[in-house]
Chains A and B, each alone.
Chain A
Amino acid sequence: MDPSLLTDTAEGPALLGSRCSDCGAHTFPRQGGCPRCTGADMQDVPLARTGTLWSFTTQGFRPKPPYTGTEAHEPYAVGYVELPGQLLVESRLTEADPDRLEIGMPVELALVPFRDVPDDADGPVHTFAFVRSTP
């Protein structure tokens, strides 16, 4: 995945966003202009690693290109996760069964494999996802 999306924190990897110095609005990924106040003073900021599920759905068929996930399609879920005081981030979810997903459930960031690369010693390609957090 694109390494510029992530940063390291003491708690582990976190998504890297921007925060507007003028109005405090956040974006993900980083961008140079503020979509709320139209200012242009955005600072890099690590996004929260935990949040709550705001909405979700499932992907029942293998998307067309530019999707590059593993050829044999395994249904997956995506959702928006509310990161308190920051924003709602769109992400894959590790749980693909809609009956086991609910709005408001606590989730945390994880890096998960989404594409096998058989001949690559580095192993599968990873992307970010959210997984139900265990209290």
Chain B
Amino acid sequence: MSGVAIVGIGMHRFGRTEGVSGRAQAVHAARRALDDAGLRFSDMQFGFGGSHSAGDADTLVSELGLTGLPFINVANGCATGGSALIAADAAIRSGTHDLGIVIGFDKHPRGAFDTDPADHGIGSWYGETGMMVTTQFFGMKIQRYLHDHGIKPDVLAEVSAKAFRNGARNPMAWRRKEMAAAEIAAAPMISHPLTQYMYCSPAEGAVALVLCRAEDAHHYTDRPVYLAAATFRSRRYGSFEVFSPWLALDRADSPTVEASAAAFAAAGIAPSAVDVAQIQDTESGAELMHMAETGLCAHGEQEELILSGATAIEGRLPINTDGGCLANGEPIGASGLRQVHENVLQLRGDAGEHQVPGNPQVGFTHVYGAPGISACTVLTREEPS
């Protein structure tokens, strides 16, 4: 079995780009990733990609090149990028292919996501009576979490303040203006205890990655980053997920817990070895919960870590160094690959103003989304043994 390396990365800036389609942003990202690896699209042996609302990834070949390659569409909500990456990892690790590309992109209308209950197998009454709203789920989940672990809600504004501080240092971020925690806490309440600036917004953007067999990596770059593990899990009976008219009395771990544990086990690396982490921060409470669910810290420990600055770029556990979803917005199909892009920059030492000091060696990424899915990666600068 071959290992897998990332040898090219490309991004179209996140945020709002009027007049540029999601597909055009995807083509831009793909060309940047190919240039980064010194390759042409005709060198690609496979493609995996997807978007939630900006078109089919396999149609990008009309712009990138009609080379006959197998290009497979992936549709897995927030884990679309992660799923594309897992497919690419399997294609290379199995020996089926040597070299290929993954692409995630999206372009969403303004405002909160609106979802048809029928797509989730739920009766129309659920939407008609005002419960088919993702923001409510996050409010209820963090409300219960704060209660269970004795955490004060004040820390939620600090998570957003850090995201905007990091965004201000990242030229590719959407929101580049710092905001004080007091202002974030005083903003209009969306779903108690979460205010307007504690939620990310649907947005636009694209990311592409070129991957190859680990032993070939130095043909394309002098600074490969290795994909030590890529995992995906769906929900178990008893987990607390979005769009649930009911929940079981039995409580089960979130899919995040299993996806993270599987990623660390496959990589043979402990969570304590992580030097930089990008974790799903759909809202600030999500970052707080995911810190513990991924194994990066213990439940209840987050408050001290956040308030002491440990999760800042210069801290001992830097989290969401590019500003995360809070500062970049969430183009669903691109978000998971943005995290990988950021960790590759960090492990290469190319993150500029938002570079984590001290030569980070191990990066971790985590996405979580509807209807109860999580995808994680462990990235390393050294080739895994």
* Residues on A facing B (Cβ under 8 Å): 1-2, 5, 17, 25-29, 35-36, 54-61, 63-69, 76-80, 82, 85-90, 92, 98, 103, 114, 127
Q: Does B61 contact A (CB under 8 A)?
A: no
Q: Tell me which of B243-251, B260-268, B300-308 binds A.
A: B243-251
What would be 22 A-B contacts, judged by CB atoms less than 8 Å apart? A1-B129, A2-B123, A26-B246, A27-B246, A28-B246, A35-B237, A36-B237, A55-B147, A57-B143, A59-B133, A63-B112, A66-B124, A69-B129, A78-B136, A78-B140, A79-B140, A88-B248, A88-B249, A90-B131, A92-B131, A103-B144, A103-B147
Interface presence of B127 (CB below 8 A) = yes
* B244 and A90 contact, CB distance less than 8 A: yes
Give CA–CA (A79, B192) in the complex, Å: 11
Cα of A98 to Cα of B193 in the assembled complex, Å: 9
* Residues in B neighbouring A76, C-beta threshold 8 A: 130
Counting CB contacts under 8 A, is B183 at the interface?
Answer: no
Complex interface: chain A residues within 8 A of B117 (CB) = 66
A57–B246 contact, CB under 8 A?
Answer: no
- A57, B129: Cβ atoms under 8 Å? no
Known contacts A65-B114, A92-B129, A114-B129; is-contact A87 B249 (Cβ 8 Å): yes
Q: How far in angstroms is the closest Cβ of chain A from B9? A: 35
CB distance from B245 to the nearest CB of A (A): 5
Which A residues lie within 8 Å of B244 (CB)? 90
Q: In the assembled complex, how far is the CB of residue B247 from the closest CB belonging to chain A, in whole angstroms?
A: 4
- Place the interface of chain B in its size category: 35 or more
Given A2-B125, A60-B190, do A87 and B130 touch, yes or no (CB 8 Å)? no
Q: Which of B129, B237, B245 contacts A89 (CB 8 A)?
A: B245
Contacts of B123 in A (CB 8 A): 2, 5, 29
User: Given the complex of chains A and B, what is the CA–CA distance between A114 and B131 in angstroms?
Assistant: 13
Chain A nearest CB from B371 CB (Å) reads 12
Out of A55, A64, A87, A90, name the residue touching B248 (CB < 8 Å).
A87
Min CB distance A89 to B, Å, is 5
Q: Is B111 an interface residue (CB 8 A)?
A: yes
Given A58-B189, A103-B143, A66-B133 contact (CB < 8 Å): no
Q: For the complex, is B191 an interface residue (Cβ under 8 Å from A)?
A: yes
Contacts of A114 in B (CB 8 A): 129-130
Contact of A87 among B111, B116, B192, B247 (CB under 8 A): B247
CB distance from A26 to the nearest CB of B (A): 8
Bound state CA distance, A77 and B141, in angstroms?
14
Would you give the shortest CB distance from A44 to chain B, in whole angstroms?
15
B133 surroundings in chain A (CB, below 8 A): 59, 63, 67
Known: A57-B140, A98-B192. 17 other contacts (CB 8 A): A25-B237, A27-B246, A29-B123, A55-B143, A57-B191, A61-B112, A63-B112, A66-B124, A66-B127, A78-B130, A78-B131, A80-B247, A90-B244, A90-B245, A103-B147, A127-B125, A127-B129
Contact B130 A63 (CB under 8 A): yes
